[in-house]
Structure 1
């Protein structure tokens, strides 16, 4: 499409998380001026835990002119380490893929999810984000789509991007009514002070401790914050969205683990622990109509084991922007976007479902992950 056509497109993005905010930045970077993000929350709060931004994502931040904003709130990591539960044996140590694939070295950036979203929102044009807009319905009119929000507002846009997460309203109403798929696992996450980490943090590199019973302790350092993102993933048959846990339960899960990991669990303030059942979705047949497209978790929510959820959403955002530049119309661009991104994310969903297993770890990064 011509830059003048992109400039005048009415674009509505549903969801103000990292997928929606990345899409807004990518689109504004190619000249789109009428981009609006609609977020259901009445205010944006610092929530979540640590994530790793992979080198290809970091390269896009350079491309979008916002690397310094990310650099200021993150720490550089050069490798991932996988260990036995007790920490006595290293199963794999590998450099982050694509770290040296660009003109400048792009380390994996360890960042708090809240800081990441804040950094993204800080580089968007004023007036881009609209809070308190929970989507209640969408009508695809063919050449445009009309959005209805619970606050009574309606919006019609030439391009609608559904970045509204694993429980996407847009996906449910237009693409698939299949429910998210329970993985048989729970994730318990907390962000603690390095002073309370009992020496687990020695550098900026994540370490995964692998239990034989399927329990994994993920330790993601956030040294720029003086913190550690502490994550226990364990098998469970409880499908409730936010299961209740006790300290004794966590400690029992960690039998045989490094004593430092157990001690952290004993000292956790459970009111600061995010407890979630782990879900993903089955790959969809299609992500788009002529004027509506899905992005990020709404299109391909995947399990967290490979750390590809946020990174895939970021790459989706760039893929969508590039497709608009290449296609002659919105429908053609959306077809190009899906053709480029869907095979990649289908494979990442498959690999992420394999998870990690202490007895078969031979590489930190399976193919295509």
Structure 2
């Protein structure tokens, strides 16, 4: 179809989902601007998994090879008993993923990935734009920022995370709830990594009944090793989004764990602690000219390593619907988007929150082999009720 280049599309938030939807919109010829509240992005110490399901989307953007070369390509996802070290699953990745899922499975530093994803946006990315309020007149949407500036848009995409201002406009103010779990995060480099490197596997999750530690390399050179945990903690009594933790706290949290985990903690120079938060299931994903994606729409615990992937899949499906269905009848387009994303996103959300993914030997092809472009769009139900989907605690 012919793209109406006069349609003004505003993306709120330039995280991975926002960057993906903006880059895909630009590639299709849409008029898009991205508004990010941060003054700049820095290479913070965090890693991320990118499955073949999302590498196929990067292929569309012409970014697949560049991202692939930057990341680590584990041959397996190993799950190991945290106490004994016994292997509970060995999920083939590496060449197997290329042959069977159609693209690579990589682990990468989030900052490196983000920089590549932002590269197509150029001057269409605006930093220092914290959204204060939205005024939807029906004919257009006014966006008012805390720096005193304002813009008008025809369509607004809320990619602004679990604390989404766009979501608040749709559904009213509501704080996310603390899940009762925290995530410790640390990046091991240099001499500390080399000291223990011969026993550190490229991608492994250590489990016991109520906690875990996921560990993997974040570069192709394997000179950075990252871990993220899931540990129960009854309360979160901090106003900050994260706090510093310590090696001593880690030893306490993983007391009795296998010697390799003890060496991981020993190699840790700096570790932070983050609360894992949930939201109630959404009764809607869009309203009039506003539409949500990613954590603004379906936040999930990181335990399946698919949260960012779901945001990027959302972005690809939303843009696909905007191309195939059109932007003039945007409400119908948004219904197609939701109809083609709700079931999959809700399934991943539930499995992530339940924390069962790949703990034992299973077939992950339904997740990794998925291609957002492969099947014809599913038509929305004519008289569908607002979708609400259970979130497993």
TM-score, structure 2 as length reference: 0.84
Residue equivalent to 2:136: 140
Is the contact made by 1:137 and 1:148 (CA closer than 8 Å) also made in structure 2? yes
Deviation at 1:99, TM superposition (A): 4.5
Is the contact made by 1:40 and 1:134 (CA closer than 8 Å) also made in structure 2? yes
Deviation at 1:243, TM superposition (A): 4.5
- SS for the counterpart of 1:152 is coil
Q: What RMSD over aligned residues (CA atoms) do the two structures have, in Å?
A: 2.4
Listed as ranges, the gaps of 5+ residues in structure 1 are: none
Residue equivalent to 1:348: 348
Is the contact made by 1:3 and 1:30 (CA closer than 8 Å) also made in structure 2? no
Rounded to whole Å, the distance in 2 between the matches of 1:237 and 1:173 is 31
Rounded to whole Å, the distance in 1 between the matches of 2:343 and 2:172 is 18
Does the alignment pair 1:77 with 2:74? yes
Rounded to whole Å, the distance in 2 between the matches of 1:206 and 1:38 is 35
Residue equivalent to 1:210: 207
Residue equivalent to 1:55: 52
- SS for the counterpart of 1:166 is coil
Rounded to whole Å, the distance in 2 between the matches of 1:176 and 1:343 is 24
- SS for the counterpart of 2:65 is helix
Rounded to whole Å, the distance in 2 between the matches of 1:246 and 1:307 is 24
Deviation at 1:175, TM superposition (A): 2.4
TM-score, structure 1 as length reference: 0.90
Counterpart selection for 1:169 from 149, 165, 177: 165
Residue equivalent to 2:88: 91
- SS for the counterpart of 2:128 is coil
Rounded to whole Å, the distance in 2 between the matches of 1:247 and 1:131 is 35
Listed as ranges, the gaps of 5+ residues in structure 2 are: 369-393
Rounded to whole Å, the distance in 2 between the matches of 1:37 and 1:119 is 16
Residue equivalent to 1:23: 21
Is the contact made by 2:97 and 2:105 (CA closer than 8 Å) also made in structure 1? no
Rounded to whole Å, the distance in 2 between the matches of 1:204 and 1:28 is 39
Paired residues, what number? 359
Task: Call closer, same or farther: CA 1:21–1:87 in 2, change over 3 Å.
Answer: farther
Map residues 1-369 of structure 1 onto 2, 5 A cutoff. Answer: 2-5=1-4, 7-32=5-30, 34-86=31-83, 88-96=85-93, 99-101=98-100, 105-124=102-121, 126-193=122-189, 195-197=191-193, 198-200=195-197, 205-212=202-209, 214-225=210-221, 226-239=223-236, 240=238, 241-270=241-270, 273-328=271-326, 329-356=329-356, 361-363=360-362, 365=364
Rounded to whole Å, the distance in 1 between the matches of 2:245 and 2:107 is 27
